[in-house]
């Protein structure tokens, strides 16, 4: 027998067992209709004397995977999740949560409020709210510790990770783990409970297990290092500490109060913005959502250098057969050794097994012969940043590739249209710009040329997801988005040294803002020879002041190449920690005298504004030109690729929070101080200020004519 209890809930009776079936695709989120339907189901269960147990079961690929994020910025509708939780907890007859897929956030809180939990052996459990700057608000922090202990619960809540079904059973979160037909197993489990007296077990009635009180202080310290700058993880410790010494009902009320407070916090708004922005970034402007990508089952990588190796490892980790092409057997042998060593490091860290290493290496073929690429579906070119070298590679590929094979260039700054024009089938050409080290960095800038076919663009985005990257589609632009904006921050950091700042002051300001590393410590890590080569490649396109600002060249000429030589902007000992070096101060003083810059005191505020606002202004120009489809795409690029703190939402989101009128005023001030060519406000900023809008206040802007 079946009857409807709400739009997304249906009921089935199986003898004395009532099944409430949740069907709210794609992830059975706890939308209002689900909450209301489940409350109605509990009411019917309570009023029906013929049924003795209720099981909550979800169709589709998962159990309730959490709250409906679309309702976050809307007035709460009753029944709230807390109301549903209270009804489940107060029920006088046993309720069983039957879990498959994932039980996350509010979904896990629903399960915690039930008397029993049964799950498939493939299920996973978590309270990931902290990743959105939030904490559980419907019993997660007050129920979970009672079931699995304070230490286990604190880790799950403060870090937002997931545990597997086996671990959940071992810790006491799940009563039974099964394989096969979950609904049938849940009905059988319910009948067992009925046969044994139909006992109700309320987690709210359980005592808090004893624990070492030193745990809280230790966890605070760990979280401060692991999640520097984040508020919610530390508040999780506060809530758990409160829960251990407060009656259940009072603790639940305090949990809800804190959750509501966090929903309105700047950090949560920023993190929720990024959550939505990453999903929006997957949409390609001008390409319909129903355009399917081409099949990619075998990939070639051209160039066995550092970048080519990283890309190869990334592809192997995704289970793709790879042909790595080099100019010589020696270069390929060196690459093979480096790839194996990197994978062996993953084995030592426990990321993969020894057998998985063997399987990955078995997927890899190396060759100097382009003829062997006749059956690959996609080629990623990762040779030196020289237009003629790349054209030579493309001409060889044109002779051997199939008509549907895609050529993707990993260029960092060369003109994508000029590269596309050098291949026989430009519609099969696009950019896939990985960041070094390619097997670690999350960001992937996929680059469209003016002639890229829609299904080629769809293929690069789908492949990016398959590789575990955060792919963002960008357009034609020197340096694309990430490096183009970074170059403006780097320019200002150099100019600030010329005017009187010290490397350690600039680095301290930017790491204090939230970046994991400052620009000068980063330069020392990359190597001054690398930085000097990159500067030389762009020198002809620089302004006269940028050309004369040759601090990098002077450091390289002095043999101060950074960490690799023990000296760069800083001195380095065996611990690799940067130390201030008076010799750099002397080098900078000499440079200032040669260039006619009197040393002056520079405030931390000026350093921060010049470095950040130069980036934001460039981001506005990128949107104007159509090189980025959305301001939010820029936010995703910078938080995924260059360490912009996620709790600040990305540069364009941050600009909206500061206020564009204030940023425009500062840009005008620095135009006078540094030069109009560096700080004149972008036309888009002028337009938005005049209209009283922000970057994210309306749909994407068309390129300005």
User: What are the catalytic residues?
Assistant: 109, 129
> Three-state SS for 198?
coil
Record the tokens describing residue 62, joined without a space: 């998962």
Question: What's the rounded Cα separation, in Å, for the pair 242 and 509?
Answer: 35
What are the distances in angstroms from CA 565 to CA 16, 522, 558, 568, 619?
76, 15, 11, 8, 35
Tell me the helices (H) and strands (E) count for the chain, helix number first. Answer: 30, 20
Which letter, b or e, does each residue of 450-472 get, where b requires 16 or more Cβ atoms within 10 Å of its Cβ? ebbbbbbbbbbbbbbeebebbbb
Compute the 3-state secondary structure of the chain and give helix, strand, coil in percent, each to the nearest 5.
Answer: 50, 15, 35
Residue 224: asked if its preceding bond is cis (omega within 30°), the reply is no
E strand residue ranges, 105-248: 116-120, 124-126, 162-164, 176-178
Rounded to 5°, the CA angle 468-470-476 comes to: 130
Question: What's the rounded Cα separation, in Å, for the pair 328 and 373?
Answer: 17
Taking phi over 0 as left and psi of -120 to 50 as alpha, with beta for the rest, 63 belongs to beta
- Intra-chain end-to-end CA distance of the chain, in Å: 64
Cα 577–chain centre separation: 28
Give 583's Cβ-side CA count (13 Å radius).
11
Question: What's the rounded Cα separation, in Å, for the pair 313 and 320?
Answer: 10
Which contiguous run of DSSP H or E holds residue 6?
A: strand 2-6
Question: What's the rounded Cα separation, in Å, for the pair 385 and 572?
Answer: 31
Map tokens 């470095």 to a residue. 611
């Amino acid at each position: 027998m079946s009857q409807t209890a709400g739009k997304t809930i249906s009921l089935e009776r199986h003898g004395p067992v009532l099944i409430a079936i949740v069907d709210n695709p794609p992830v059975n989120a706890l939308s209002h209709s689900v909450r209301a339907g489940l409350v109605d189901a509990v009411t019917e269960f309570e009023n029906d004397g013929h049924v003795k147990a209720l099981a909550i079961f979800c169709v589709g690929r998962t159990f309730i995977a959490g709250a409906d994020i679309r309702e976050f910025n809307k007035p709460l509708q009753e029944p709230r999740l807390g109301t549903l939780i209270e009804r489940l907890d107060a029920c006088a007859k046993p309720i069983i949560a039957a879990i498959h897929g994932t039980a996350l956030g509010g979904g896990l809180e629903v399960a915690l409020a039930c008397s029993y939990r049964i799950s498939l052996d493939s299920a996973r459990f978590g309270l990931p709210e902290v990743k959105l700057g939030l904490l559980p608000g419907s019993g997660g922090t007050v129920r979970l510790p009672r079931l699995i202990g304070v230490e286990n619960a604190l880790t799950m809540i403060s870090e937002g990770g997931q545990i597997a079904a086996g671990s959940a059973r071992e810790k006491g979160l799940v009563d039974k783990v099964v394989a096969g037909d979950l609904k049938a197993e849940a009905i059988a489990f319910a009948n067992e409970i009925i046969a044994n007296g139909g006992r109700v077990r309320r987690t709210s009635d359980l005592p808090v297990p004893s624990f070492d009180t030193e745990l809280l202080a230790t966890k605070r310290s760990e979280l401060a290092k692991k999640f520097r700058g984040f508020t919610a993880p530390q508040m999780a410790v506060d809530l758990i500490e409160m829960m251990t010494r407060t009656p259940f009902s009072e603790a639940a009320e305090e949990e809800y109060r804190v959750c509501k407070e966090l929903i309105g916090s700047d950090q949560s708004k920023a993190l929720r913005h990024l959550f939505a922005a990453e999903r929006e970034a997957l949409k390609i402007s001008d390409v319909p959502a129903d355009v399917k990508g081409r099949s990619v089952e075998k990939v070639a990588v051209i160039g066995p250098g550092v970048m080519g190796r990283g890309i190869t490892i990334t592809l192997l980790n995704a289970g793709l057969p790879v042909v790595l092409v080099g100019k010589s057997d020696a270069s390929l042998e060196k690459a093979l050794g480096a790839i194996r060593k990197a994978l062996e490091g993953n084995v030592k860290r426990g990321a993969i097994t020894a057998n998985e290493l063997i399987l990955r290496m078995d997927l890899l073929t190396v060759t100097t012969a382009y003829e062997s690429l006749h059956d690959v579906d996609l080629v990623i070119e990762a040779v030196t940043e020289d237009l003629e070298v790349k054209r030579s590679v493309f001409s060889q590929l044109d002779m051997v590739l199939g008509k549907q094979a895609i050529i993707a260039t990993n260029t960092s700054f060369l003109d994508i249209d000029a590269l596309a024009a050098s291949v026989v089938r430009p519609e099969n050409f696009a950019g896939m710009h990985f960041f070094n080290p390619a097997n670690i960095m999350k960001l992937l800038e996929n680059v469209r040329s003016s002639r890229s076919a829609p299904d080629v663009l769809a293929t690069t985005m789908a492949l990016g997801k398959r590789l575990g990257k955060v792919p963002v589609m960008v357009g034609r632009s020197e340096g694309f988005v990430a490096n183009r904006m970074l170059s403006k921050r780097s320019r200002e950091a150099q100019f600030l040294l010329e005017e009187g700042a010290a490397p350690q002051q600039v680095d301290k300001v930017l790491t204090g803002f939230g970046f994991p590393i400052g620009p000068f410590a980063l330069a020392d890590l990359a190597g001054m020879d690398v930085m000097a080569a990159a500067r030389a490649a762009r020198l002809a396109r620089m302004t006269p002041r940028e050309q004369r600002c040759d601090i990098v060249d002077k450091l390289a000429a002095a043999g101060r190449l950074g960490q690799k030589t023990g000296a760069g902007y800083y001195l380095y000992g065996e611990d690799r920690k940067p130390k201030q070096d008076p010799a750099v101060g002397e080098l900078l003083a000499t440079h200032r005298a040669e260039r006619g810059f009197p040393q002056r005191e520079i405030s931390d505020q000026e350093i921060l504004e010049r470095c950040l606002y130069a980036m934001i202004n460039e981001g506005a120009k990128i949107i104007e030109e159509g090189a980025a489809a959305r301001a939010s795409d820029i936010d995703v690029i910078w938080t995924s690729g260059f360490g912009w703190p996620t709790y600040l939402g990305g540069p364009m989101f941050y600009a909206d929070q500061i206020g564009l009128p204030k940023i425009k005023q500062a840009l005008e001030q620095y135009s006078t101080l540094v030069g109009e060519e560096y700080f004149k406000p972008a036309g888009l900023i002028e337009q938005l200020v005049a209209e009283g809008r922000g970057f994210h206040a309306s749909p994407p802007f068309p390129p300005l004519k």
